[in-house]
A = this chain, B = another copy of it.
Amino acid sequence: MQSRTPATRPGRPRSAAAATAILAATREALVDLGWSKLTLGDVAARAGVAKTTIYRRWPGKNELVVDAVAELFDELELPDRGSLAADIEGVVLQFATILDRPEARSGLMAVVAESTRDEALRERIRESIVERQKRLVLQGRTRAQTRGELPPESDSKDAARTADLVFDVVAGAVVHRTLVSGRPADEEWVRGFTQVLLLGLRGAAALPADP
């Protein structure tokens, strides 16, 4: 029975509604202002809360935004469309749809930028966004193996490496397409991208492993 923090501390307990309101207000402010013009004072006002109430729960703007954005990606799920290619296309399109929302666009990139100088922040992002969504890659592979589209992995270390590569390639390509190149990751693009990715993975799997 874990209970590092005592079941009930003395004094007035923290309002549960406040945390919800703050995260929602943060996303709203991201939409209206973007990351760099978002201020905690403004978030507090939108949430109907005092600034101190925010600082009592989050160390600063970066951590707050990470939490606010992370929730956005929890709605991702791997659809069952009958084939690995179709499944991938489906989830990539979902991802692109989320990246179209302004609170995700500016929030995500900004905290990644900040994390280049803040190891703790990078770890927070990895935990609550990256690792959390890597489940989709694993689910997809398992389902494809069940269907017989992919062979069961022989080397678990190699399997992990491949999953990481897939995640970096998928997430990286979609982000670059939408945010840097500024062109839509629409059905046509996703089809082409998925084709190259799958052919590449199958081709690589057919070759002998790295010597």
Contact = CB atoms under 8 A, between A and B. Distances in A.
A50 B141 CA distance: 58
A93 to B, nearest CB: 16
B192 A169 contact: no
Interface stretch (A21-29, A75-83, A115-123): A115-123
Copies in the complex: 4
B164 A168 contact: no
11 contacts: A35-B113, A106-B116, A110-B110, A130-B180, A164-B183, A165-B193, A168-B180, A168-B181, A172-B177, A172-B180, A196-B203
Contact of A172 (B114, B125, B173, B191): B173
A129 to B, nearest CB: 8
A176 B180 contact: no
Contact of A181 (B164, B175, B193, B196): B164
Given A106-B117, A172-B173, A202-B203, 11 more contacts: A35-B113, A36-B113, A109-B116, A125-B180, A126-B180, A173-B173, A196-B197, A196-B201, A198-B200, A199-B199, A199-B200
A210 interface: yes
Interface string A35-47: 1100000000000
Interface of A: 34-36, 102, 105-106, 108-110, 112-117, 122, 125-126, 130, 161, 164-165, 167-169, 171-177, 179-183, 188-189, 191-193, 195-204, 207, 210
A108, A117, A203 interface centre (most CB from chain B within 10 Å): A117
Contacts of A112: 109, 113, 179-180
Nearest to A34: B117
A135 to B, nearest CB: 15
B106 A34 contact: no
A108 B102 CA distance: 19
Contacts of A192: 161, 165, 204, 210
